[in-house]
Structure 1
């Protein structure tokens, strides 16, 4: 049975979504939703990256959009200098 929760998504546009969550009592992933496998460089043994294996107790792709949210308009800074309103100045820079 899926464990659902409401989340705010930002991509591709702001929205409220209903999404599945991992089981908190899962013995494989301990409620994280997957297992991270770290691996090293074959010659030096240095950290070379990681791989994520999703746990069967959780499906990342199980989500439904409930309501799109409006985009907030960008704020414009008020012009504090007289030349800032026009975008250029005829005065020398020194």
Structure 2
């Protein structure tokens, strides 16, 4: 069963979307949707960073656009104007 919520996103364009949420009583991720996994460099074994490993109880790609939000054009600044700023 999907557990949906409304969220704002700005990629690929600004919109309000309906998205899935992690299962709150999941034993594997404790409701966080996944966990960080530290990994080492293959040759030296030294710490090389962390990766986010999503839990199977949640699909973060399940997204439905509810309301696209228009992008407003940026104002063009004229830094070389001879007019006073008032």
The bucket for the TM-score relative to the shorter chain is 0.7 to 0.9
Kindly indicate whether structure 1 or structure 2 has the higher relative contact order, using CA contacts under 8 Å at least 6 residues apart: 2
Gaps of 5+ in 2: none
Q: How many residues align?
A: 82
Match of residue 56 from structure 1: 56
Determine whether 1:20 maps to 2:16. Answer: no
Determine whether 1:85 maps to 2:81. Answer: yes
Q: Which has the higher helix share?
A: 1
Task: Compute the displacement of 1:54 (Å).
Answer: 1.8
Structure 1 runs of 4+ with >2 Å offset: 41-46, 49-53, 75-79
Deviates more, 1:50-59 or 1:64-73: 50-59
Gaps of 5+ in 1: 87-94
Structure 2 length normalisation: TM-score?
A: 0.78
Deviates more, 1:53-62 or 1:3-12: 53-62
Task: Compute the displacement of 1:70 (Å).
Answer: 1.1
Distance 1:42 1:16 in 2: 41
Q: Cα RMSD between the aligned structures?
A: 2.0
1:11 is paired with a residue whose SS is: coil
